[in-house]
Structure 1
Amino acid sequence: MARSELRLTGSGGQGIILAAIILAEAAVIAEKKTAQSQAYGPEARGGMCKAEVIISDVPIGFTKVLHPTFLMALTQEALNHFSEEVAETCMILADAGLTIPVWAEKQTVTAPILKAAKERIGKTVTANIIAVGVINKLLGIADEKTMERAVLRHIPEGTEDLNLKALHVGEEMGEVLKKQRKDM
C-alpha cells in the first residue's frame, strides 16, 4: 500500500467519523503513516457527513484527501453527491440498499451493511463497525488482531462482544467481496 485516500460518507449519527478514527488508529498501530479528518453539516444528526483517512508507507506531506482511492457511502444522498467527483479507479463501497448511479456502476461493490447491523447484530448503531470490517478486508489496512485492538479502544465499556461480532460480520462480507472482485 503506497498511499490510500479513503472517504467515508453517510449521515450524521451513523458513526462515520468513529469508523474513520478506528481505521486510522489501526493503521498507526500497524506502523503506517496516517492522517484523519472529518466534516459534517450543522444538523450533525441526519445531515450529510464525511470523514477521511490517508494511509501511507511514506510521510504524508499534504493531509487533505484530493483524489480518493476508496469511497464508502451509507446513504443515497452521500453516494449521489460524492461518487460524481471520484476517478474511475476509485473503488466505491455502497450499502446494498442504495441505487447505484450509472456513472459509478463499474467501480462499485455493495454490501448489506445496514441490514446486517439490524438483522445479524440486532443494533443499527453497529453499522459503522461492520463497515470497518468490510473496508479492512478490501484494503488490507491492518491484520485482524490490530483492527480488534483499534475497535476496542473506541467503543463504550460493556459493548465489546457486540462490537467485535459486528467487526467479524463485516470481515466476512469483505472477504466475499474481495473474492468476487478477483473473479471479475
Structure 2
Amino acid sequence: AGVILGKAASVFSDFYAVQTQSYGPEARGGASRSEIIISDEPIGFPGVMEADILVAMSQPAFDKYTTDVKEDATIIVDPSLVIDTGKFNPIGIEFTALADDMGRKIVANIIMLGSLTRLTGVVSEEAMTNAVIDSVPPRTIDLNKRALETGIRAAEEALAQKK
C-alpha cells in the first residue's frame, strides 16, 4: 500500500515522495511499517520524524507507532483490529470487514487507501485510482477499483458520523 501511495504522489501527481518499509518477522498481523514522505519540495531526509498521518491495521502497529505522531495527527484504524486506542480518538473504518464483504480479504489495503485518500486529500482520487491500476495485475483491476471506491464511501460515512 505504501508503494501505491508513493506512486500516486510522485508519478500521478506533482509531488516528491520517498517511501521506506520494514516488515521483519512480524509482518503478518504485527507491527510492519511503511513510511511515505510527500512534499512539494525536494526531500532532504528520507525518514519520518513525526507523522502527520498514521494508519494502523493491527494493535501492535498502533501501540508501537503512535509514539511517532504529531499531536494533531490524523489517525485511522480498523476498529476490529485496534481495540485499545488509549488517549487517541482515531477515525475507525472496518477495512477488513469491508474486504470480507467483497469476498477478498486481500483488498483491505486498497480499501484503506481509498479511505486515506478521501479523509486526508494527500493525493487526488484520480491519482490514487491511476496508481492502483498501474500497480495491480490486470485481471484484478476491476476488483481493486471497487475496493478503492468502497474505501472512499466508508470514509465519507465515517466523516458524517464524526460531525
TM-score by length of 2: 0.90
Match of 2:13 in 1: 30
Q: Aligned ranges for residues 98-137 of structure 1 at < 5 Å? A: 98-105=82-89, 108-119=90-101, 121-137=102-118
Instruction: Check whether the contact 2:6–2:18 (CA below 8 A) recurs between aligned residues.
Output: yes
- Cα offset for 1:47? 4.3
Q: 2:150 matched to which residue of 1? A: 169
Tell me the distance in 2 between the aligned counterparts of 1:142 and 1:85: 22
Distance 1:100 1:69 in 2: 21
1:86 paired to 2:86:
no
Give me the whole-angstrom Cα distance separating, in 2, the residues matched to 1:172 and 1:63: 32
Q: Deviations over 1:53-84 (max 9, x none)?
A: 01111121111011100000011111122123
Q: Helix, strand or coil: the match of 2:43?
A: coil
The count of corresponding residues between Structure 1 and Structure 2 is 161
Cα gap change, 1:87 to 1:44, in 2 (>3 Å): closer
Structure 2 distance, partners of 1:169, 1:110, is 14
- TM-score normalised per structure 1: 0.81
Gaps of 5+ in 2: none
Deviation (angstroms), 1:124: 0.4
Shift, 1:45, TM fit = 3.8
Q: CA deviation at 1:44?
A: 4.4
Aligned with 1:131: secondary structure?
helix
Pairwise CA RMSD = 1.6
**Matched residues in 2 for 1:167 and 1:39: separation?**
24
Structure 1, unmatched stretches of 5+, are 1-18
The one-letter code sitting in structure 1 at the alignment partner of 2:135 is: H
Aligned partner of 2:130 in structure 1 is 149
* SS, match of residue 87 in structure 2: helix
Q: Which moved more, 1:63-72 or 1:171-180?
A: 171-180
